[in-house]
Structures are given as C-alpha cells and as structure tokens.
C-alpha cells in the first residue's frame, strides 16, 4: 500500500506519549520495595544481564520524577503509561500495604496530572514479587487472588488519579519467557505449564476487571497485548495453514478471551489433541466471559512471517507451537540488526484493521512501538543524539496508522517505547529506545533529536509526511 505525501493530521485529543514500566525505570527507591523475579534471576544468572546491570537503579525515576515530568512536557507528552509495582505496594505480594509506596505513587501521579499528562497505569509488567514467585507465580491460584487484591487496592488508592488502567502488559511474555524460551524466571521449558500460566493470567485479568467495576470510576480498564500480524510465506495452502496456527497460538490466544470472552475453538481443540488443556472451572469461564476489556493497547514491533514446516517434528522433544510452522525470513526485508526485529510499517495498519473487523472496532491505541539501537552515542553531534532513523521509524508507522484511522479504525493514540532510555530485560542498556538519552554513569538526561520532533508532532497534532523514510 502506498501512502501519499501530505500533512498527516490526527484526530482531536489524540494521545501522544510513551510508555515504560516500574521495574525498568523506577529503581529500588527507599520505600522498602520487595524483591521480584528479576532479583531471583540476578542471583541465579547474573551472567545473562548485559554488562552486569541489574534493576537496582535503572533510570531512577523514583528520585527524579519531578524533573522527568518536565522532560515529558518538553517532549510533547499529553499521556504516559507507567506501571505500579506490586512488590513496592506489597513487599510480600500480600499482607501489609506499604504506606510510603502509596505516598510515592500518589505524589508522582498527581505531579503528572498537574502538568497536563494523563497517567495510564498498568498493573503487571513482568515483575512478580519474589514471595509470590516462590508460591508458584502465575501457576498458583493463591497468587492470582493476591494479584486481584493488589489491583483492588490500586483502584481504591489511585482511582482518582489514573486516566486509564491496564491489567497486564504483554501477558504472552511470561509464558514465552518463563516456560518456553528460557528468558524469564522461572526459566522452565514446559508448554503445558505455560498454557496454565496463560489461562491464569487471562482469568486474573478478568477478575481484576470484575473488581474494577465495583469502584465505579470514570476511567476505563483494558489490557495491553503484543501482537504480530502473521503473514504466510506464500499463498500455498500449507503455508497459509502454518500462518493460521502461528496466529492462533500467539495472537488469538489472548485477543479472543480478552475482547470476546471466549477462546478460539481451534486452539482449544489443538491443545486437547496434545493433552495440554489447563485446569479450570465453569466459574472461571463465566468470569472470563463476563469481564472483557473496555479498551485495548496494541504493542506492535514486528510482523511474524511463517512457512510450512520443512522438517519433521521430533515427537520426543518438548511440545512447542512451532510443531505447526517454521519462521520465514522474507528476502529484502527491512531489519533492525540491534534487536533482530524486522521493520514492517504496514503491519501496524493490518493490525488495526484486524481489530476493526474482527473485534468490534473496540477503542484501542498503539501502546508500544519503537526502535532500539545500540551505541547510540556515536550519533551525537553538538551534545545531542541525532536519531534521524528513529524519527523516520515513527513517521513511517504513523503514516500507516493515519491511514488506518482514515479507514475507520477506532485508534485513540500512539505511545512510543520509550521516554528516557530505560533498562531492558537482560539487554539492560544495550539498545536505546528513548526520546531522551541517559548517561548511566551520571544519570544525566538529554533530549534527542527525536524528542524535539515528538514535541512538534504533539503540538501540531500531526506532521508532514514526505514519503517512506528507508535509511536504517
Ligand atoms: C516490550 C516490553 C517492554 C520493552 C520493549 C522493548 O515487549 O513490553 O517492556 O522492553 O518490548 O523490548 P526489549 O527491551 O526486549 O528490547
């Protein structure tokens, strides 16, 4: 699809902003925050953390939020997504609430509001408290109950300060990382347990939504999903079938229950065939059916391209969805070598159209999209990172997003990953994503060229699009 050069005006009150999470940006602070799964990972696998940097300090938002909120303003934010740390509010995951943590979050959220920045609060971003992980993490019902109690507490304590709520960021992450691909604690390879974790997070999300409704707040509550539009290598029916399976496991698995309140029949059937169905009750299914999301966040980074398998599956290897497909590398693809992700801007359009056509055009926004680049300091001139590639990346995606809106998609905003360079899971500060650069030795912040672009974008509620920027 070709997009014409033009001024891309976005709808009134469009949410311009960015996102990050507590574990990645706050640092430990001094409220007596409990340990999380990342401290457990550090104890066990510190060698896996890039340059040996853990979550102790990160971007130190805890101590610097007042100045950082000014930087949000200077980079055009009218909204911002953060997460509330479960382990800060309840150091043991349950039990006594930490009043200092309540004071911190209330002060920080109030400061955002006072500066005209709408706080979007997410309630889980890969940061299970250690005490909860020791009880089984998302495999445990008691942990789900503790999570719902934490959410309920947040609605009560911060309900007057939060614009929109989200139960989870990328609930697929703990399944993939923790039970399939060995990059999150508990680093288990067991798809059946992963299915149980997936089911339990979907149920926990529904139960949090149920609790939310009792508070009768003006805000909405939703979920943030990482979705990769899935493309078959070719129109060959076997490639198409492979893409359908990949889509089922990685997209529909969370989309359908979150928005429609039920699981795709073919997914259930496939899991049953392999004896992988989770444990559940009829009441669980009712709760999922009756407590669907009111708003949807779309994290879009890369497409998923697949082909029919070219080799036989070893039936004695642990089950993986890849038994049904293989990844496909499209010749000539645009690629970010730092993160290893394909860049395919039209994917953002295809994703929005899918939500329009198959999910009732539910109110949605782009909750993450961004580009991580290593050694960004090499682009520094006159003290500023000249990240034209990031400006191009944003513009290209926005051009397709603009088209999606013109074609009737109910998209309310765009949040970039991320605001100030922040810590990334295992990659620490290797790849920089921010509109503002961070010197990790001095904690000095400097607005990048993209931060200036973002400010103008937000102020004009649009930008002049000159055609696709391709120099990555
Ligand atoms: C998303 C996560 C973010 C962030 C981002 C960038 O999947 O929600 O927490 O980390 O990806 O990815 P990474 O940090 O792995 O480079």
Convert the pLDDT of each residue in 381-405 to its tens digit: 999 999 999 999 999 999 999 999 9
Report the separation in Å between the CA atom of 368 and the middle of ligand 1, taken as the mean of its atom positions. 9
Q: Are strands 411-416 and 364-368 parallel, antiparallel or unpaired?
A: parallel
Does the CB atom of residue 368 touch ligand 1 within 6 A? yes
Does the CB atom of residue 257 touch ligand 1 within 6 A? no
Query: How would residue 472 be classed by pLDDT, with cut points 50, 70 and 90?
Result: low
Instruction: Identify the pLDDT of residue 1.
Output: 85
Query: pLDDT tens digit string along 6-17?
Result: 999 999 999 999
> What's the pTM?
0.98
- SS3 label, residue 232: strand
Rounded to the nearest angstrom, the gap between the alpha carbon of residue 108 and the centroid of all alpha carbons in its chain is: 21
Does the CB atom of residue 58 touch ligand 1 within 6 A? no
Does the CB atom of residue 226 touch ligand 1 within 6 A? yes
**pLDDT at 327 > cutoff 80:** yes
Report the separation in Å between the CA atom of 4 and the middle of ligand 1, taken as the mean of its atom positions. 31
Across the range 64-72, mean pLDDT stands at: 99
Share above pLDDT 90 across residues of the chain, in percent, rounded to a whole number: 98
- Taking alpha carbons only, the member of 251, 160, 168, 162 closest to residue 209 is 168
In this structure, the residue with its CA closest to atom 4 of ligand 1 is 424
Across the range 108-115, mean pLDDT stands at: 98
Cβ neighbour number for residue 81 with a 10 Å cutoff:
30
Report the separation in Å between the CA atom of 314 and the middle of ligand 1, taken as the mean of its atom positions. 32
| Residue 221 half-sphere exposure toward CB, CA atoms < 13 A | 24
Share above pLDDT 70 across residues of the chain, in percent, rounded to a whole number: 99
Largest CA distance in the chain: 63
Catalytic residues: 170, 368
270 and 247 in contact (C-beta within 8 Å)? Answer: no
Does the CB atom of residue 336 touch ligand 1 within 6 A? no
In this structure, the residue with its CA closest to atom 10 of ligand 1 is 424
Question: What six digits make up the tokens of 97?
Answer: 């609430």
In this structure, the residue with its CA closest to atom 5 of ligand 1 is 417
Query: How would residue 2 be classed by pLDDT, with cut points 50, 70 and 90?
Result: confident
How would DSSP label each residue in 324-390? G-EE---TT-EEETTTTEEE-THHHHHHHHHHHHHSTT--EEEEE----EESGGGGEETTEE--HHH
Atom number, ligand 1, closest to the C-alpha of residue 173? 7
Does the CB atom of residue 339 touch ligand 1 within 6 A? yes
Atom number, ligand 1, closest to the C-alpha of residue 372? 16
Does the CB atom of residue 387 touch ligand 1 within 6 A? no
Query: How would residue 470 be classed by pLDDT, with cut points 50, 70 and 90?
Result: low
Report which of residues 468 and 384 the model is more confident about: 384
Question: What six digits make up the tokens of 151?
Answer: 């959410």
Across the range 399-418, mean pLDDT stands at: 98
Domains, the chain, in order of start with CATH, read 6-465 (3.20.20.80)
Across the range 133-154, mean pLDDT stands at: 98
Instruction: Identify the pLDDT of residue 385.
Output: 98
Instruction: Identify the pLDDT of residue 114.
Output: 98
Q: What's the mean per-residue pLDDT of the chain?
A: 97
**pLDDT at 471 > cutoff 80:** no
């Amino acid at each position: 699809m070709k997009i014409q050069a033009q001024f891309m005006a976005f709808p009134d009150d469009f949410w311009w902003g960015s996102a990050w999470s507590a574990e990645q940006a706050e640092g430990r602070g001094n409220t007596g925050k409990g340990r999380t799964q990342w401290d457990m990972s550090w104890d066990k696998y510190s060698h896996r953390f890039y340059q040996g940097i853990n979550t102790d300090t990160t971007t130190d938002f805890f101590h610097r939020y007042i100045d950082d909120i000014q930087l949000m303003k200077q980079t055009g934010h009218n909204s911002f997504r953060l997460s509330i740390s479960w382990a800060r509010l309840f150091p043991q995951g349950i039990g006594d609430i930490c009043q200092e943590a309540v004071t911190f979050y209330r002060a920080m959220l109030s400061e955002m509001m006072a500066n005209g920045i709408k706080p979007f609060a997410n309630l889980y971003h890969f940061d299970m408290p250690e005490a909860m992980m020791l009880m089984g993490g998302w495999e445990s019902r008691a942990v789900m109950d503790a999570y719902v109690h934490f959410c309920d507490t947040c609605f009560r304590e911060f309900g007057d300060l939060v614009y929109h709520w989200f139960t989870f960021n990328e609930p697929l992450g703990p399944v993939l990382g923790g039970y399939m691909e060995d990059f999150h604690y508990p680093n288990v390879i067991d798809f059946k347990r992963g299915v149980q974790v997936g089911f339990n997070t979907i149920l926990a999300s529904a139960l949090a939504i149920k609790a939310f409704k009792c508070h009768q707040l003006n805000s909405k509550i939703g979920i943030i999903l990482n979705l990769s539009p899935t493309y078959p290598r070719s129109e060959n029916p076997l490639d198409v079938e492979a893409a359908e399976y990949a889509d089922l496991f990685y997209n529909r698995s969370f989309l359908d229950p979150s928005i429609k309140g039920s699981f795709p029949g073919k997914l259930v059937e496939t899991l049953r065939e392999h004896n992988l169905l989770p444990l559940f009750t009829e009441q669980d299914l009712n709760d999922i059916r009756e407590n669907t999301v009111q708003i949807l966040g779309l994290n879009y980074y890369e497409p998923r391209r697949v082909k029919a398998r070219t080799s036989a599956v070893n039936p004695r290897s642990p089950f993986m969805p890849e038994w049904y497909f293989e990844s496909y590398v499209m010749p000539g693809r645009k690629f970010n070598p730092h993160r290893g992700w394909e860049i395919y801007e039209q994917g953002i359009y295809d994703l929005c159209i899918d939500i329009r056509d198959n999910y009732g055009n539910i109110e949605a926004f782009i909750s993450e999209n961004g580009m991580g680049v290593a050694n960004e300091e090499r682009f520094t001139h006159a003290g500023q990172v000249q990240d034209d590639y990031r400006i191009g990346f944003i513009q290209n995606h926005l051009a397709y997003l603009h088209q999606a809106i013109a074609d009737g998609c109910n998209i309310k905003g765009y949040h970039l990953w991320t605001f100030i360079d922040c810590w990334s899971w295992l990659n620490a500060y290797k790849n920089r994503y921010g509109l503002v650069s961070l010197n990790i030795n001095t904690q000095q912040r400097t607005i990048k060229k993209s931060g200036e672009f973002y400010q103008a974008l937000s102020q004009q509620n649009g930008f002049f699009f000159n055609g696709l920027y391709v120099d990555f």
